Structure 1
Amino acid sequence: MTMRLDRIAAAGTGEGYRRIRFADGGMITVEAQPDTTVFTEVALWPGLTAPSTEAWATEDSHELFLTGQDGEGRSLFLDVPVDAVREFIQEHGGEHADQDDDLPQTRHHVDPRSATGIYRIQLDDQRVGRIIRRDDHWLATPSGENRRSVDYDDFDEAAAYLVQEADIEAGRLTRAAQDLNTALAPYGLTAERAWDVLIGGHVLSWLVLDSGDPTQAADDQEPHLNIWFSDPADGDEVTVDRPARASDRWLVELNSANGQSVEGRAFPGLDVTAVAAYVAQWHSDPRAAWDEAMAAFEARWPVTS
């Protein structure tokens, strides 16, 4: 009955306000910080009367005027507990089906914050994981056996990760690492997953493929590839642990036996077949692929005297 309220209480309202329409036609405007148990401001629109309880005791019509929300019949209350607002909405029949489109559409819904600060995420009748606020980021932990907690700056992104993991667990989606190895299988190749964790718990993952060159001395580093993709809008992302999207960009990094590395070719996120073909081409002749990549690099960054 209060899906929009619970989502706003978790994510906050940013610099502005958000409206919540009631099933019986009433409406309120709220202001909140992320992970809140108390709304900073709750403005009641005409036709609504606040309950006569301690939770609604702090009324401030002057602040309503200053924030540009003043209007005939409207009233403003400060520091109202989220639970009190939830009860108020339920008394008016719950939330209306028609709300502002200022929040992205989702398949999931957010349970109210628990006493320990946990938000449980539901997909249909399935609980797909939990989110908790850690300092200035959100830690998302999926349900199931292969749980990998990941940090996000945005609450909705954290929830989307949990839904994605549930889809992967159910076989509705596959990770990009699996998709690439499926594309590599006809070439007789398999890339291995490697990973690291940045400060704050952000997981980096990529695939590694060695050349299998028997001529390399035992104390030399074998030529190898590092392969990953990212969303160009997220400069910190390095991953193969989610499904690739059309907006993503695959990158293949070539590494030589003496520790040098150079950027190889880049590919659109959904063109995993082209990535596999390039990897197979490198595997058949690592030296030629290295020379091609170095020539492209030097063309982009010519040495000037």
Structure 2
Amino acid sequence: MTSTTRLDSLTASGTNHIFDRIRLADGHALTLKTRPGADMAEEVFLFPGLTAPDTEAWGDEDSWEGWLTGGGLDGGPLYLDVPVEAVRELIEQHGGEHDDQEGDVVAPDATGGTDGEETAEVIATRALAAWGIAAHQDDDAGNTWLVIGRDQTRRGFPRMLTEPYVVLYLYNDTDADEEEITVTRAPRDGDRWHLLAGDGLGAERELMTPPADRLAECVEAIAEWVTDPLPTAGSGEPVEGGEDGDPVCEGHSGEDDDLLRGVGIGETTYCDGLCKPHRPRYPFTVMMGYAPAYFNDRGAADRCAALYGSTVTVN
């Protein structure tokens, strides 16, 4: 009989509202969320190359998320309320659990790329899932990216207009006529990962832009952010500053003339809140489909407009 020791352990103790990975004997993998002693897994994500049986137990695919992401998750499907015994049967069909649960995932039949290489989405989704973090693909106007919500306990696509999130994608501007924002092809020379954080209220800031071969830095930053979210530039949130712990104010993004000149874009400002900074209404608006998003940082507004194929309106 094949072994399902890890599944038994996870279903007995629960996964503490995060995804935990199970690596199968043939190198494929899945992640799941479950409560202690439950006979139903709340969510099960199948890595690329692993296919769910065509049975009623696997019938509740997250179609709402599929609609939000343009028809599906290229990195793998997400299923809701799957019986633990159905998960066990799937594991047994692939030879049981792998002895090395920390090893790499093999997905030879789901590269998603036109040249047989794994896409950035597949690579990043797998790396994040190893930390128990779920990512969701989104796209607009030919651009694609991954969205990660800070609240990893809730189901479905992150609520980007009301909750903190981060966005991850490959960026390439080597073409003089067009810049590329994508996760649907394999990384290549000249690409850089772009990681942005949004506060859910319209403000965003760029966290890092490492070369394509340094995805691990982004994944580690996301893992830290999920447990201890970083402040977003222009959010107006008071945060402690100064290495000696003394109150300090280094100025604020938000003055209309500074914003229009692009002053302070990408810089973190520190403030103890005692200076009572001026907080003007958001001067920039970007239409995200039919929903408006408001910004007090011109750089963030420009990036959002680029992602959604929209334009920036100065209020």
**TM bucket normalised to smaller:** 0.3 to 0.5
Structure with the bigger RCO (C-alpha within 8 Å, sep 6+) is: 2
TM-score by length of 2: 0.35
TM-score by length of 1: 0.36
Structure having the higher strand fraction is: 1
Which of the pair has more CA radius of gyration?
A: 1
Structure having the higher helix fraction is: 1
